[in-house]
Amino acid sequence: MIRLPQRETKSLLAIHGWSAVCLGLLLYVVIVTGVACVFADEIGDWASPLPEAPTARFPSGIDAPLRTFAESVDPSQRDAFFAFPRAGGRMYAQFHHDARDASGKMVEHDIAVDIDPATMQIENRREGDDDALAAADRTNAISNFFINLHVRLHVPEPWGLLLTGVLGLAMMVAAVSGFLIHRHLIRELFTLRRRRDLLSARDAHVVAGTWNLLFSFLLAFTGSFFSFASSFGVPVMAMVAFNGDQEKALETMVGNPPASDPRPATLANLDAMLADARTRTHSEIYYIGIEHWGRADARVSVTMLPPEGELLGTTYVYDGPSGGFQYEKPALGRVPSVGGALYGLMAPLHFGNFAGVLSKGVWFALGFAAAYVALSGMRLWTTRRAAEPGWRPLTRAVAGIGHGLPLALTAAAAACFIAQIADAELEPVMMRSFLAVLALALAACWMVRDAERVSRALLLLNGVLMLALPALRLLAGGPGWGAMFATGQFAVPAIDSALIIAGLTCLLAVWRATAAERGARQALRFEQVRG
Amino acid sequence: MTLLLSLSATLPSVLALLWLAWRDPKRRRTAGLASGPAVRRLAVIVLLLPGAALIALGAWAELLIWAGLSSAAGWLFTQGLAVPGTAHRSAHHGR
Amino acid sequence: MAGGAIWLPKGAAQINNLLLPVLLFPAIWAVLFFYASLALRLRRAYAVIGIICVLQLVLIGGHFMLR
């Protein structure tokens, strides 16, 4: 039990409540999309599988199409290159290069392709900045949409990242202050009173919050680090230590500063380097990065997935022109360091992707609990102030977004398949459907007196739509379960089944809530008759 | 291996949690059930021991999975064992 | 936070001074936030945080002047 003087408890309660009221709804959006993003890779594999599962993350023979792609790119635009498998195992390969536009402003210019791992065909070449590449990416449309919403709420750089960073800080404040104000942390760990009143609403929020406390803190901390590091932290450090040269700052942090040698030189065979990296550790290749492709100072970094039972993978560095192994390094820095290790831990702790589906499943559950804590907290706040008319807009917004947001996300996924059938652009269609559904949900909560009834209708719609998603996927030309089982692509049947179970759960919840309400009404009538 | 180790660490903890939730005095009092002697200390040891073992082994990935699964299970048990409303008047009415 | 680049030890990989402030930024902010909101004497809280900020600015300013 934590004993705090009353004054501190009071101000902490105010901090807890007001940070939630001001930022809670946006934070709820970030958490809910984050829960979906845990399985972003699997969602890609589910939405756009290939007929054949790739033999490995980096199948042998990948050197040839990557080389063809590189030769099609102007040498001046080959500063940085990276590649890793995305939806269905398609190899995503991208050159990145910073250029100055007519007005002298720095703009990023990227060139990307997908490579079919079975046929080694280069497909879907696209150029432009990050947003342009994402918009032209049809196979990762659903996961990109969710990721963009989670990372920056679709707000342009750098404001989106700064916003989600602040939301992460708010979540941290909520976790810490919630911990400090809850006096009976251990004693009430298992007590949840189920009645339709304030006390049970409070119990629901507090119990979920207590069980989820550590992970909420962890996710908030690592999340706000990711938001602030690139949008604020690195620029500030670059300003202080490198006179504002961010590239120099990053180079120093990565610990891979190449001695500049711009003479042209052919890159050695990548397949050989990848094969060598595989012999050095018991894990698969995560991604590869190449600096200065086609120059004498080219350097190839092969980053490995964490070996079984570990959180961090390692990186092997090869000399580009000779293909010879040079050294092993951590993610940041040339040799292990406190900062480098802490940085390395940020990603596995935030994404929960260190032990495949097992750890992702756990992170999904914890994220779901965090979303429940956020929503039940806002419900509690508004229920307590139900009598005050000033709070009614917030009450309605909470009701509308609470169940409207999951529905809008399902609708966006459904819209993606429908747009595929209609051969339309995916991203705008998804965005419009998402916003339209959210607006309709809010409007319904605004106009209908009984917000509870609207919530139930939204949940019902979400259940129906979830059940419809596998059918829509098939209608959009997606493969059936038989073919996917035969080729070992289990993401497709797994996510289909998860959607069906989730859809049925929604319907069951609606049915039970309706039955409970009918029971309560009958009991009330009985009381009246008897009285 | 990760799967095996994390699940075998989680199983005793989950069972201990179930026992703790079932015998929890505050929960039973609120539900109007008799609260007999709860062997809480032993259950808490069983709950935390796998975590300590994983730390000793340096199995950090398994430790995270164990912690995540156990806390999710704790929440689920509490939800599942939620006590229906009783006439019992609660002394401290929320905050 | 920014001053950390100058006064923190660089460590074996020569990057700790750059990385740690960025990594711990959320924690630094949270400590300052809770201190400011719970401090009994507001004037002292302003002073403490003000002095920390000024110290950092002086460090950064000095760093640029001495180069």
What is the DSSP track for chain C?
A: -TTHHHHS--TTTT-HHHHHHHHHHHHHHHHHHHHHHH-S-HHHHHHHHHHHHHHHHHHHHHHHHH-
Distance CA B68, CA A20 (A): 24
The percent of residues in chain A predicted with pLDDT above 70, rounded, is 96
The tally of CA atoms less than 13 A away on the side-chain side of residue A57 is: 18
Chains with 3+ CB–CB pairs under 8 A to C are A
Task: Output the six-digit token pair for A101.
Answer: 């536009």
Write down the ipTM of this complex. Answer: 0.84
**What distance in Å separates the CA atoms of residue B51 and residue C29, rounded to the nearest whole number?**
31
Q: Please give the average per-residue pLDDT across A149-173, as a whole number.
A: 89
Which residues in chain A (151-190) have CB-CB distances under 8 A to chain C?
Answer: 168-169, 172-173, 176-177
Lowest mean pLDDT among A389-398, A452-461, A505-514, B23-32: B23-32
Domain assignment present for residue B38? The answer is yes
The contacts of residue B9 (CB under 8 Å, 6+ apart) are B50, B51, B53, B54, B62, B66
DSSP string, A99-110: EE-TTS-EEEEE
Q: What is the mean pLDDT of residues A254-282?
A: 87
Specify the pLDDT at position A531. 64
pLDDT beyond 90 at A134: no
**The predicted structure's pLDDT at residue A73:** 93
Please, which pLDDT band fits residue A229 given cuts at 50, 70 and 90?
confident
> Are the C-beta atoms of A254 and A52 separated by less than 8 Å?
no
For residue C33 the two structure tokens come to 């936030």
Whether residue A83 contacts residue A288, with contact meaning beta carbons closer than 8 Å, is answered with yes
Q: Does B70 touch chain A (CB under 8 A)?
A: no
Q: Is the pLDDT of residue B38 over 70?
A: no
Inter-chain contact B71–A200, Cβ cutoff 8 Å?
no
Mean of pLDDT values over A407-416: 96
Q: How far apart (Å, rounded) are the C-alpha atoms in residues A177 and A169?
A: 12
Share above pLDDT 90 across residues of chain B, in percent, rounded to a whole number: 13
| B54 and B62 Cβ atoms separated by less than 8 Å | yes
Contact A342 C20 (CB under 8 A): yes
Residue with tokens 């997935």: A305
Residues 6+ apart with CB under 8 A from A329: A255, A256, A314, A315, A317, A335
Task: Give the pLDDT score at A461.
Answer: 96
Nearest to C26 among A172, A177, A332 (CB): A172
Q: Give the range with max mean pLDDT: A126-130, A414-418, B21-25.
A: A414-418
Query: What is the 8-class DSSP label of residue A390?
Result: G
Residue A65: asked if its preceding bond is cis (omega within 30°), the reply is no
Q: What is the pLDDT of residues A333-372, one digit of tens each?
A: 777 777 788 888 889 999 998 888 899 999 999 999 999 9
Tell me whether A346 touches chain C (CB under 8 Å).
yes
**pLDDT (tens digit, 9 = 90+) per residue, A478-510?**
898 988 888 888 899 999 999 999 999 999 999
Total residues found in chain C within this entry: 67
* Rounded Cα–Cα distance for residues A502 and A523 (Å): 31
User: Do the Cβ atoms of C2 and A236 come within 8 Å?
Assistant: yes
Reply yes or no on whether the pLDDT at A286 is more than 90.
Answer: yes
* Cβ atoms of A116 and A64 closer than 8 Å: no
Q: Where are the domains of chain A?
A: 1-48+140-255+368-384, 56-139+256-350, 389-531
Give the C-alpha distances (Å, rounded to integers) separating A92 from A39, A86, A255, C65: 18, 6, 25, 46
**What is the CB neighbour count within 10 angstroms for residue A214?**
15
Q: Residue A35 burial by CB count (10 A; 0-12/13-18/19+): exposed, middle or buried?
A: buried
B74: in domain: yes
B76 falls within a domain: yes
Q: In the prediction, which pLDDT does C67 show?
A: 55
Please name the chains neighbouring B, where neighbouring means 3+ C-beta pairs under 8 angstroms: A
| R_g over Cα of chain B | 16
Confidence at B4, pLDDT banded by 50, 70, 90? confident
Q: Please give the residue range of the domain that contains residue B27.
A: 8-80
Percent pLDDT > 90 in chain A is 46
If one counts the domains in chain B, the total is 1
